[in-house]
Amino acid sequence: MKTVLNFIDTWGLRIILILTLVIFLKTCTTNSKIKNESDRIQVLSNKMDSINIVIDKMTKQIQTEIKIEGLRSEKRMIQSTDRKIMDVNRQTEIDKELSKLEK
C-alpha cells in the first residue's frame, strides 16, 4: 500500500495534468465534429424541402390529369348511351369542368 501512495505522490500531479490535457483536446475535436454534422444536416434538410416541393407539384398535376381523364371517360359513356335531356346537361357541365382543368 505504501508503494501505491508513494507512486501517487510522485506521479499523481503529472498524470492528472496529462489526463486533463487529453480530455480538453478531445472536447475540442468533438465540437468541430458536431458543427460539421450540423452543417450536413442543414444541407440535407434543404434538399428534402426542395424534393417535397417537387413531389407536391407532381401530385397535384397527377390528380388533375386523373380528374380530366375521368371526366372524358364519363362523357364518352354518356355519348354511347341513348338518354337525352339529362345527359346533354351533364355533358355541358363536363365540358366546362374540362376547360377549367386544362387551363
User: Which residue segment(s) compose the domain that 49 sits in?
Assistant: 2-102
Nearest 5°: phi and psi at 83? -80, 150
Give me the amino acid identity at 76. R
Please give the angle made by the CA atoms of 71, 75 and 81, to the nearest 5 degrees.
145
Q: In the chain, how many domains are there?
A: 1
The structure's pTM equals: 0.53
Instruction: Inform me whether the pLDDT recorded for 82 exceeds 70.
Output: no
Q: Which letter, b or e, does each residue of 49-86 get, where b requires 16 or more Cβ atoms within 10 Å of its Cβ? A: eeeeeeeeeeeeeeeeeeeeeebeeebeeeeeeeeeee
Q: Give the confidence band of 84 by pLDDT, cuts at 50, 70, 90.
A: low
Instruction: Inform me whether the pLDDT recorded for 65 exceeds 90.
Output: yes
Give me the amino acid identity at 13. L
Give me the half-sphere count of Cα atoms (radius 13 Å) on the Cβ side of residue 43. 6
Q: What is the pLDDT, as a whole number, of residue 66?
A: 95
